[in-house]
Every structure is written in structure tokens, then in C-alpha cells.
Structure 1
């Protein structure tokens, strides 16, 4: 074994331990998380992107990003504002746990791409060749391309080939096949920006060990500072040259998206305010910019003054001024920053504080001067802070501010965010797994929905138990043998798309009560959610699917109300005695499933 292979295997072992992962899809999850490290994709989204598992057309994962926002469903596209600045980036990923790069990978992909971009191939045609998960991703990327290319050509397709091989030793045969694949892709998709990217042992390891960039240097012209009370909170007011600010918020002339995570809105495009900022940048070079603009607010837990009018800032978050920042970024990106002699400055407030309550008040106050819905500011709600503190008391992390705990290098398997928690509560307490699956962003779109799901009336432990139950059910799903006759090969490869439905049935069988509530959920004993109970739930779901006899894809069935209605009809009128009979009748079948799993454990 060469050193590259030895090091990458050690790195993957460390990654596995740090994130409490099992062996299934380990190399895929490791590779994808490194390749997309800068995109802030969480583990659940990575797992949802995986389409590997038979009839996958040589594709292991499909990631669709619109302005660096990951899309899981077509319905989520309707939530996005698409304009000429919108950017679509598609990653089609093949990972091979081998120590070389092979030509046949591109041969298989080339045939698959013929179908992916042949719009005459519709659902029935694709389902006859590919698994349901891949078919769902095909329709998602088609729809994203169609909607965005009507407005802009900022579309890019990355075909990624990752292995444990040495990228310096890739053969000419592999490179030639890749070039042919790119030609095919450009012809079939009508997208000119297509590229094959290689990641080998060295590249993946280096990304893994590369520290997150947490410190930035800001050059300024003039400053004023003041401390408050005991001096633990310090504020700076600066004027910063527009070019210096551009360089501060970019890396390799690309915007640093991570520093805007705590801003309540992303760039709003050509709204009236932004048109005014753009007009000022273009046509008001004879007057100071900060006289005409409200400026930027930055939070940082650590500020170190340096010589020559510089500040070193750690873990910064721009909480107000995103619209101004993006207008500045777009202006100088388009004109060419290196060719401009810029004399104007932007006004910046920098506040040093680590106190969460203070940070929340600053975020709320600096964003409530313009029209922002209360629902957009939900991360600052007292209930959200209470949930976060409760999770912390139990050794888990509630990411009410996206990527906050990831940036602190906390165990990713213990991090849960607001949106996914909402999905789990919608599934368990409101018994609507189809809505949770169909369009997760709509669950938090309105104040009414938000208040329904995040309520002071609910036992706070029910939020944590919902997250942990889904984690446990997802682990069981990964262990389902794809070729099990008992489970039914028709559904086996698609069960991850029905995780919410399985979670609901598992909870119903555990409580022996369809109408269990938040108090019941808070008292759930996760140690009693075992393989036997899961097998029983799985058997019920397969029987309900057979009874439903829906010819649509599993993806569409999961999003529809029909399956949820059948689950409701199956359990809503059962009493405790009915569940005792269920236990007796299914004992033999669940034992057979357990034997089936045991016989296949070496293949998992």
C-alpha cells in the first residue's frame, strides 16, 4: 500500500469516527462532503443526493445548487427569485472506492446523459431504466435548467470523478473519454460551461485537513471606537475604501458566502433599493459613497487592532448591509477591480461581542428598519434560543444559525437545523409526512405555519426526540437489503424517500396510538426503537403501498396526500388491543426479516 492510499484511508477512518457514520456509502459521503466543503451542504442533504444502489446509470450523487442553495425538490424552485444574476451549478458525481481512475466510468455516464437530456424520455421511459431516486434528480435538474436558462446563461455542470487514485497518473485513455463526455454533454444539454473534475487521494485529504478560514484582515481609512460598560463589548465605526471592502468580502474575486449566514435575507436583485445603490456606484463618483448609503454592520467575537490602519477580525458575520455588499461586489467584478482608481469609502460598524442575546438584538434591530417579515427573523426568537440551549444541555446542537456549530467543528451527526426539525414535527405531531417531504421551505414560509410548528405549548424535549428518532430510522433504512424478497425489491432502493412515513409508522407502533402528542414524544425511549419494531413498521408500509397500488414513482407517492391518507386510515381507529394482535401476527414475519438481514450483513 502506497503512502497516498495509507493516508487517505486513515483520513476516512478519522472522518467516520468524528461523524459517527457506518460503513455504507462512507467513501461517497466523505468525498462529497469534501468536494462541496465550500458550499455548506449538510450531511442530510448529502445523503439525499445519493442515487447509488442499482440502476443508477453510473451516477452516485446529484447536487443542484441555485445561488449556492441546495435544492431537494422541484417545489423548492418556486420559492426562489430567479433573475439575470441567478447562478445554477449542477454536480453529477461518481465515486469509486478504488486506487485508480477507469475509462468505463465515462462510457457509462455518456450513455446515461443521452437519456438525462433527451426530453422525449419521460417518467415511464426513465423508470424502466433507472431507480426512482435518480429519476427524481433528473426531473429536478431539467426543471432547474429550464427555469433558469430562460433568464440567464449562468449555468454550469460539473461531472466529478472521485477515487483514492493519484490524479497525476490518470491515463490518456481516461482523459480522452472525459473529453468525449464533455462534448456529448454540451451537445445534449445546450450548456457550454461543462467540465470534468478529478479528485484523488491527495486532493480529498488536503481539503479535509484544510482549516476553515476564520480570520480576515480589514484595511480602513478612519476609525472611531468605544467600549460599553465593562469593556467586554467594543464597537468600531470605520470608513473603508470600496476596493478594500471588495477584497475583504471576496476570495479569488468570488464572494465569501459564509460570512452572510446570519443575514436574514440573501441578495434581492434589482429591487428599488439596489437600483439606487447601483446608480450611486456608477454615476456618483464625485461624491463620497458613505454619505449616500447606510453602511454595513459586522459582528465578530474577536477584534485585534494592527499597525497601519488594519483590524484582524475572527469569525465575522455581516448581519446588515448584504444588499450593499453584493452591489459593491457586482459593480467591481463587472468593471474589473484592478483597473479602477477608487477614492470613495463605505461606512462600517463592527461590534465585538460573543453574547448571543446581544447579537440577536443587533441582528433584529439592524434588519427591522426595512420591510422584513417577522418569520424571516425567527432564528432570533426566544423559543429558538430555548430549543438551542436545551439541545446543548443534552449534548446536541440546534443550528438556529446556519453552520454555526459546523464552523465550531462540532460533531455533524449531532447537529440539527430549524428547517429539518420543522419537517420532523410536521410528520410526527401533525401526521403529514407528505407535506414534510414535498416542500420543506413552505413549512416556515408563513408566520402562521411557523407558530404552529414552533409553539411554547409543545414540550421542548419533543423537538430533540423528533430529530433523534429520524436519525435512528435513517440508520435502519441504510441497512435494508436491496434484494430482499420479503421487503419487496420494488420498494427497497427507494425507502430513503419514505423516511418520514416510516418514522411516523414506527412512532405509531411504539406508542400503540395514532394520536400520540408532544408529551408522548418527549417521553419516547429511543433504546426501545429497535430492529424488530422497525421491521414491523417497514412491513406495514410495504403492505400499505401495495394496497395503494399507485403507478407513480415513489418520489411522487411520498409527496402526495394519498399515501398519508392510507396510513391514517390504517391506524386511526385502532386501540391498544389491536396493537397486541398486530405484535403476535407479525412476530414470525419480523423474525424472517431479521434472519434475512443477518444473512446479508457481510454485503452491507
Structure 2
């Protein structure tokens, strides 16, 4: 019965409300839908939270997400070397805890989408109608449309009514057709799609469980040793393409640790792989000219020529895998040609780390995934657990265990907190958290010599600042744009040092009070005003991402130290 779907969905939503009690009810509903709808892309909880734009002047959009080649992009770091024709997706959600669908909601989006997607848009005018989050995420999409080389664009609008017992009235559905046309007018070559989800449809997404086991058929019996769970074999290219694809034909994001920038289509290595895949009739098998791939799984079982793998992850061969997937998606792969596959059973994280590091010593998996194997990362993970925090150096490792959101600390979150409090680069933390993996920033954030207590203090200060800003009416919708600079100042104020060291930060035994934060917020506002007057910015996100703002905030911090006494 449809009524039962509504009741069961409410039960599932209530469990999410408990896990995400730091969000307001509307944000919890947006988080719930995005979390389950986007499962095939394996987003992190950071990815999902970053796309929640619900609030005043949201333009009828509760969540908005940009994906490139199936991976969520949520910062302004350049998208380079993506190659020709990458997949660029933009998905917007409207989530209502109501019993039906309204024509007005769709009409609202028909009006707003063309203005937001206008390549010549005037953001000063848009700021009168939309909040900064909506403007920022659509700006990022427009920039990607322009910067990527002939992207294949797909735009989806999802309308979910969590108490609806049936799909929309035909009049509402016709409005959906009008929205498809509005999207097509904005981007004529795009693939527009509008979906209406009632309680039963949302429940179906919520019940979906990503496969934790996969099978791969070998071309011949594999080679193995006396050590159980280790095999070397060859797999036909079409079979390997099937193995790394999910049920819908997408590249299976759950099998890869890397982020979108780790795969560089236009590198010499990938050009060579592409050329080798394209060869036909040369009498040379693919695996003769390629190092192959390494797959690590929690459990490996051989039956004939079929390997059954539990939670498989490709830890070496990222570039090769992407190129085989791209080739298989656009052209036929030669059944007679094969790839060398090494499969290792390793259910211990330390063992996996050793395998990842060893197999990538010459051919890199990708900076983000490889950094997670550093010894300092394991030490941080172990230490943070002693203070009740779960450090996700591995994508979604603890989130998949239903750990409360407030206890999760992603590698990006920790990097942002340390960049704000210790490195004093809040503009980088705001604009490009993925830069934490860059060679010039990573050693500053994750130095072996840093006291481990520094990391918990940095996260705590950052989160206290965020919580304070959420309680202030004037900053409730601008938390991301003030929190990092406020955390920088709070660290200066509490340590009484213009440039506190990691040791200074680790010794803090208190959190900033609301009274202190309210004073420091005034310092940040003054600094921002100076930057706005200098550069004529319209939106706070532009101000927060500018290095001039950091300089002005630090100047304000110095004046604060000189004008106040140690408390």
C-alpha cells in the first residue's frame, strides 16, 4: 500500500535525523535525498553537505551537485587535463515533506534555471534573488562548461515529495516537460531530465545497497602461490570493462579511492594507453605493453576461472582502468586482447596501505589516495578515536558504518581546519580544500612532527566557529564564508600569538566563547568591508576566497592582540 511507503520512509528519514542532528529539518530532508539518490557516485558526506543550498532565496533548489566523470566537484581548484568530451553532470533537488507535487514549484524552477545558467549572467542582479550558495555552485558549473573540452552535459532536476502516495497530476508532469525545454534552451546539446519521486520511489533509492562483492572471469586459470588469496591472471578487455562498471553502466566509483583530479586524460601515459587500446590486427596483446592493474579485496575466492571478490578496490592502474572504461563506452573492445590483473586478499588496513604504497612507487594511483596511506594519517586516525572522532582518511569508511555525522572528520575537513588555524590560509581552505594534497601545502598541514593533539584542537575550534555562526541570524546562510577566517582569528586570540605554532595550538585546553567569537566576527566583517571596497565584490564567497581578506583579517588580529590583555 502507498500509505505504508509513506510510513516506512518517515522511519528511515527519522534515523537520518538522529545521525545528522546538527542540520535543521529541511536540511536533513535534503541530505537524506541526496545521500540516497547519489549513491552510484559514492559521494563523501562532505560532498553531500556542500551541495545543500536550502534556505532563504534558494530559488526553489534545496540541493545542487556538479559531477565530472562521475565524481563530485565542490571547490574552485582548476579542472585540468580532463581530456576531450568528459561527462559533466549537474543535479538539482527539491525536497518537500508534503503529500503532493505543485505546479508552482516546477514553474519556479522554469523561471530560475535559465537565469542561473546564463553564461553572461550578472551576479550583482542574481544576488538580489538568490543566496550565495546557489550562485556559487551554478557559477562553478558554468566555469566547467567553458573550461572543459567539449563536455557531454547532462542536467537533472529531481522533485521529491516525501509524503506523496502517487506520482504527480498530469498538469504537473506537463510542467516538467516545460522545464526540460527550459534546460534545453540553456544548453542545446545537453541531456535534460526531470524526475518526480513519491514516497515509494524515494524509498526504493533509500533501500538500494551498493554491491560489496563482484565477480571477474579470467581468460585462463590464474597463477597463485602458497599464500592464500593472491592470484595473477589475464582478463579480456570487454570483461574488465564490465568488471569496473556498475549496474547502470557507469564507472563504478566504489572501486576507486581517487578523486576527479587524479585522472589526467591528457598525460603522455594515457595517450599511450589510448593508442595501444586502439590498435587492431597487430598481433600484439594489450597486456604485453601495459603494467596491468592491482586489485585488493577483503576476501577472494576462486571457482574455476571466476574470482569472487568482496569489497574490491583498484589500488594500482587508475589511468589504465579509466582508459579501458572510456574506450569501452565509445567503441568496441577486442575480445582477443587482455589486461594483466593481480588480485590480493587483504582485510587489514595496514596491509592494504603497504600494497598501495608499494604498487604505486613508480606509477602513481593519485595523490589523494596515496596520501591516505602515510603513517601520519594512520596516527591521526588512531589518536582522534581516543577523543571520540572518526577520521575518514579512506573514503566513507566510517560513514558506511552509520557513525554519527558529528563524529566524522574527513581528510578534507581536517585539512581545512589546519589550514585555517595553523597555516593561516583560510582563503585556501574556503576556495580549494583539495589543495591540501598539493606538494607545497601537504607538509605544512600533515607534518610528522606536529603534535597529534593539534589536529583535534584545530577541528574543535573550526566546528565551534561554525556552530556559533549558525546561531547568528546575520551569518546563518554564510557559515562557509566566515568560519575559516573566524577560526584563524580565534586561534590567534586564544594563543595570544600572531603566528601560533602547532605546539601552541596543541596546548589549548579550552574552546572560544561566544563572547570572544562575537568580537572577532566584528574584526572579520571590518576586514571584509575593506576588501569589498577595494575590489567591488558582490558576494561573500568571492571575498572569503581572496588572499587579501586573509591579510586584512590577520592585520585585525594583530590589532586585537595589542588592544586586549591575556584572559
Q: How many angstroms does 1:7 deviate by?
A: 1.6
- Native 8 Å contact 1:93 1:160 kept in 2: yes
SS at match of 2:83: coil
2:285 corresponds to 1:299: no
Tell me which of 50, 54, 57 is aligned to 1:55. Answer: 57
Alignment of 1:13-162 (within 5 A): 13-24=14-25, 25-73=27-75, 75-76=76-77, 78-148=78-148, 151-162=149-160
Q: What residue in structure 2 maps to residue 11 of structure 1?
A: 12
C-alpha distance in 2 between matches for 1:127 and 1:375? 35
Q: What residue in structure 1 maps to residue 447 of structure 2?
A: 455
Residues 443 and 18 from structure 1, CA distance in 2 versus in 1: closer, same or farther, beyond 3 angstroms? closer
C-alpha distance in 2 between matches for 1:407 and 1:309? 31
Tell me which of 270, 273, 279 is aligned to 1:274. Answer: 270
Q: Deviations over 1:59-83 (max 9, x none)?
A: 222211122332334x31x243232
CA RMSD of aligned residues (A): 2.9
Q: How many angstroms does 1:44 deviate by?
A: 3.0
- Native 8 Å contact 1:506 1:537 kept in 2: yes
Alignment of 1:484-495 (within 5 A): 487=474, 492-495=476-479
Q: What residue in structure 1 maps to residue 240 of structure 2?
A: 245
C-alpha distance in 2 between matches for 1:549 and 1:184? 35
Note the residue ranges of structure 1 that are not aligned, 5 or more in a row: 482-486, 584-604
Note the residue ranges of structure 2 that are not aligned, 5 or more in a row: none
C-alpha distance in 1 between matches for 2:279 and 2:560? 72
Q: What residue in structure 1 maps to residue 177 of structure 2?
A: 179
Q: Which has the larger radius of gyration?
A: 1
C-alpha distance in 1 between matches for 2:259 and 2:139? 31
- Native 8 Å contact 2:318 2:365 kept in 1: no
Q: Deviations over 1:444-477 (max 9, x none)?
A: 222x321122112321111122223323333333
Q: Deviations over 1:341-394 (max 9, x none)?
A: x23332211111223333223222222223789887322222122112222333
- Native 8 Å contact 1:215 1:313 kept in 2: yes
Tell me which of 371, 378, 385 is aligned to 1:392. Answer: 385
Spell out structure 1 runs of 4+ moving beyond 6 A.
371-376
SS at match of 2:94: strand
Residue correspondences, number? 559
Q: What residue in structure 2 maps to residue 326 of structure 1?
A: 322
- Native 8 Å contact 1:419 1:444 kept in 2: no
User: TM-score normalized by structure 2?
Assistant: 0.89
Q: How many angstroms does 1:19 deviate by?
A: 4.0
C-alpha distance in 2 between matches for 1:145 and 1:247? 29
User: TM-score normalized by structure 1?
Assistant: 0.84
Residues 168 and 227 from structure 1, CA distance in 2 versus in 1: closer, same or farther, beyond 3 angstroms? farther
Q: Deviations over 1:238-296 (max 9, x none)?
A: 22233322222212332212212169984432544334434443434544433333222
Q: Deviations over 1:502-558 (max 9, x none)?
A: 2233444444554443234324446x5454444444454445545665441111111
Residues 265 and 363 from structure 1, CA distance in 2 versus in 1: closer, same or farther, beyond 3 angstroms? farther
C-alpha distance in 1 between matches for 2:136 and 2:4? 40
Q: How many angstroms does 1:161 deviate by?
A: 1.3
Structure 1, 157-166 or 13-22: larger mean CA deviation: 13-22
2:161 corresponds to 1:163: yes
Structure 1, 465-474 or 293-302: larger mean CA deviation: 465-474
Residues 107 and 299 from structure 1, CA distance in 2 versus in 1: closer, same or farther, beyond 3 angstroms? same
